[in-house]
Amino acid sequence: MIQAPPEMWRIELLHPPLVHFPIAFLLLASFLELPALFCSQERKEFLHSASLLLLLLGTLGAWAAVFSGDQAESIVNRVICDPTVTDEHRYWGYVLSWLFSGVTVLAVLRQRFLTHRLTSGVIIPACLAGSALIFYVGHLGGKLVYQQGAAVYRPTPQCVEFAE
């Protein structure tokens, strides 16, 4: 009897789609902070508002990615060779989420109470560090999938489970 391939709606497969939107939102939010340094006040306020919206969405998404990764970890660790990569990926994912949580709080405070000059001196370096961290966490995630086959289905040699 031929066994059917596993369902596509498995808990360990929720993590990849949940992680890509926060990556885009957080990188774009970080990118918008730089030109705001050189713009008029009106454009600066627009860029900071756009950045804040992206930071809010990206940070919420980052925490959803952390949660989904935690849910998938025990399943993934059963099939990979080196679970220390999962531990490192999780650790830096938490650091990334906390870093951008702090940046988001500062951006909210900047929008309401603090001066742009004061907060930009903290927000911009934190966003640059966070952007670098996004690439590192993504590298670790890629290492889990492409080197160790995390959550990847391996078909039979003749792919008979896909024959109709």
The matching CATH number, chosen from 2.60.98, 1.10.1660, 1.20.120, 1.10.10, for 13-162 is 1.20.120
Gap between the Cα atoms of 27 and 132, Å rounded: 9
Burial (CB count <10 Å: 0-12, 13-18, 19+), residue 115: exposed
Q: What interhelical angle do 83-112 and 41-77 show, nearest 10?
A: 160
Could you give phi then psi for residue 74, rounded to 5 degrees?
Answer: -65, -35
User: Digits of tens for pLDDT over the chain (164 positions)?
Assistant: 566 666 767 777 788 889 999 999 999 999 999 888 888 888 988 999 999 999 999 999 999 999 999 988 888 888 889 999 999 999 999 999 999 999 999 999 888 876 666 677 889 999 999 999 999 999 999 999 999 888 777 777 877 777 76
- What per-residue confidence (pLDDT) applies to 8? 67
CB 33 within 8 A of CB 51: yes
Alpha carbon of residue 47 to chain centroid = 22
What phi, psi does 95 have (nearest 5°)?
-60, -45
Q: Which residues of 7-26 are buried (b: 16+ CB within 10 A; e: fewer)?
A: eeeeebbbbbebbebbbebb
Every domain of the chain and the residues it spans: 13-162
